[in-house]
Amino acid sequence: MAMAANMAYLTLLALSIAAAAVESATTYTNHTVGGAAGWFFNDSSNTCSANYSSWAANQTFDLGDYLIFYTNTNMTVIQTYNLTTYQSCSTDDALDTDTFQYGGGDDQFGVAETMDVPLTVEGPNYFFSDANDGFQCQQGMAFEIVVNHGLGLPPSLNQPPPPPYTAPPLPSVVGSPPITLQPTSGGFRACVNLPWVVSVVLLAVGGIVFG
Ligand SMILES: *[C@@H]1O[C@H](CO)[C@@H](O)[C@H](O)[C@H]1NC(C)=O
Ligand SMILES: *[C@@H]1O[C@H](CO)[C@@H](O)[C@H](O)[C@H]1NC(C)=O
Ligand SMILES: *[C@@H]1O[C@H](CO)[C@@H](O)[C@H](O)[C@H]1NC(C)=O
Ligand SMILES: *[C@@H]1O[C@H](CO)[C@@H](O)[C@H](O)[C@H]1NC(C)=O
Ligand SMILES: *[C@@H]1O[C@H](CO)[C@@H](O)[C@H](O)[C@H]1NC(C)=O
Ligand SMILES: *[C@@H]1O[C@H](CO)[C@@H](O)[C@H](O)[C@H]1NC(C)=O
């Protein structure tokens, strides 16, 4: 009887440990940067309101989580995947593809601001304030995290990035007559252009055969 009770207890214990282990991977988490101290820099003492490296060291970050920055317009939030940019405390040479600025656009100093930054890229993510020409960052307004896969991106964040810009193709035939759209005869356009295509193919073949 005692043995059976022990077994039942052990089974329950094992189940609850398993549940706890799974739990961390079944939800997305919003991390308040710096905890209650937020993301602030004191201009008089030149100190940050929190030690962001040690704050970050205590958290697990997954895709789809958010970093919530409680701050004001004296600070910026720069997110970058580029270590060189992070170490420079500056966005002057940063690429548009790996570095993003949150907030901004307010001319007034010290206005309360909250920035929600979704974590959408696995691996190292770096954050800093580039205000005061990087001085805040040099004083510790900076931290790095590693984003794990977790559950993967939720549908709300799972939009593919816009395709990179490509220059429109040059017109293939200079001075070709304008094409009149004729909705009733869809195949007409291709037929009109066909002799030209054939002659190009013939020229190309001729180039190969006779060249
Ligand atoms: C986390 O923050 C995002 C962005 O502000 C918000 O949409 C979401 O509801 C928050 N989730 C929780 C659990 O607070
Ligand atoms: C900023 O630092 C100064 C000097 O240490 C201190 O007197 C002041 O209370 C601090 N301000 C805030 C908002 O913490
Ligand atoms: C990190 O966690 C440890 C152990 O739980 C705790 O002692 C420490 O105060 C935490 N640090 C921060 C910055 O939350
Ligand atoms: C990081 O950014 C710098 C510009 O600051 C750029 O020259 C470099 O190629 C970038 N590194 C990577 C790995 O993209
Ligand atoms: C914001 O910056 C301005 C200008 O440097 C300063 O006068 C003000 O005290 C700062 N406000 C806060 C809340 O840090
Ligand atoms: C933050 O704390 C770490 C130790 O946990 C320390 O090495 C580091 O110098 C601190 N950073 C700042 C800006 O105080």
| Least confident among 37-41, 52-56, 153-157 | 153-157
- For residue 134, give Cα distances in angstroms to 119, 139, 142, 153: 23, 9, 10, 32
Does 190 have pLDDT greater than 80?
no
Task: Using pLDDT thresholds of 50, 70 and 90, give the confidence band for residue 161.
Answer: low
| Least confident among 38-47, 112-121, 170-179 | 170-179
Helices (H), the chain: 2-23, 52-57, 83-88, 135-138, 188-210
Mutate to test the pocket of ligand 5, among 42, 109, 133, 141 (most ligand atoms within 8 A of CB): 109
Ligand 3 pocket list (CB less than 6 A)? 54-55, 58
The pLDDT value recorded for residue 64 is 96
| Average pLDDT, integer, range 52-66 | 96
Average pLDDT over the chain reads: 78
The pLDDT value recorded for residue 18 is 47
- State both tokens at 177: 């007559």
Report the nearest-CA residue for atom 11 of ligand 2: 42
Contact 73, 109 (CB under 8 A): yes
The pLDDT value recorded for residue 92 is 96
Task: Using pLDDT thresholds of 50, 70 and 90, give the confidence band for residue 160.
Answer: low
Ligand nearest to the CA of 126: 4
Q: How far is the CA of 97 from the centre of ligand 4 (A)?
A: 10
Q: Which amino acid is at 121?
A: V
Separation between Cα atoms, residue 173 and residue 20, nearest integer Å? 67
| Average pLDDT, integer, range 160-167 | 63
Buried b (16+ CB within 10 A) or exposed e, 30-40: ebbbbeeebbb
Q: How far is the CA of 151 from the centre of ligand 4 (A)?
A: 29
- State both tokens at 101: 């600025």
Residues 182, 185, 190: CA angle, nearest 5 degrees? 90
Task: Using pLDDT thresholds of 50, 70 and 90, give the confidence band for residue 171.
Answer: low
The pLDDT value recorded for residue 107 is 81
Does 139 have pLDDT greater than 50?
yes
3-state secondary structure of 7: helix
Q: How far is the CA of 58 from the centre of ligand 3 (A)?
A: 6
Does 61 have pLDDT greater than 90?
yes
The pLDDT value recorded for residue 150 is 96
| Average pLDDT, integer, range 151-160 | 87
CB of residue 59 inside a 6 A radius of ligand 4: no
Mutate to test the pocket of ligand 1, among 32, 66, 102 (most ligand atoms within 8 A of CB): 66
| Average pLDDT, integer, range 201-210 | 45
| Least confident among 75-84, 150-159, 176-185 | 176-185
Does 33 have pLDDT greater than 70?
yes
Q: How far is the CA of 62 from the centre of ligand 4 (A)?
A: 24
- For residue 75, the number of C-alpha atoms closer than 13 Å in the C-beta half-sphere is 29
Rg, Å, the chain Cα set: 29
Classify residue 10 as left (phi > 0), alpha (psi -120 to 50) or beta. Answer: alpha
Query: Across the strands, what pairs with 118?
Result: 66
